[in-house]
Structure 1
Amino acid sequence: MCDVLDKVENRGKAEGANSVALLMKKLFDQNRIEDAKQASEDKEYRTRMMKELGIS
């Protein structure tokens, strides 16, 4: 059972990392450097940027 939970947790972490990477790519592509910097430091701002850019 622990192996299954570990796999689910690891998948969640990987998906989260992919979402953050996609956010950074979109912000950099739009030359929104300050937004990328703030999103990297502030979880609430990062969440707001993800909603704005349609990243789930």
Structure 2
Amino acid sequence: MCDVLDKVENRCIAKGKAEGEDTLALLMKKLFDQNRIEDAKRASEDKEYRARLMKEFGIS
């Protein structure tokens, strides 16, 4: 039973990680499309700023 739960948990973690990567990639694409290089650099290091940019672009 624990093996099954571990596998399910690992799949959920992997799915969450993939979705997070896709979200970050979308933010970076939007920033680069607008030539907002400094914003992209800051977003890569500053979690709160990244969240503000995601809200600005309507990314959840």
| TM class by smaller structure | over 0.9
- Bigger relative contact order, structure 1 or 2 (CA pairs below 8 A, ≥6 apart): 1
Deviations 1:17-53 (A, max 9, x none): 0000000000000111111010011011111100100
Alignment match, 1:22: 26
After the TM superposition, which segments of 4 or more aligned residues of structure 1 sit over 6 Å from their partners? none
Correspondences of 1:1-56 after superposition (within 5 Å): 1-56=5-60
TM-score (norm 1): 0.96
Q: In the aligned structure 2, how far is the partner of 1:5 from the partner of 1:13?
A: 12
- State the TM-score, normalizing by the size of structure 2: 0.90
Q: Which runs of 5+ in 2 are unaligned?
A: none
What is the distance in 1 between the residues matched to 2:47 and 2:21?
13
Count the aligned residue pairs.
56
| Percent of aligned pairs sharing the same letter | 68
Question: Which structure would you say has the larger Rg?
Answer: 2
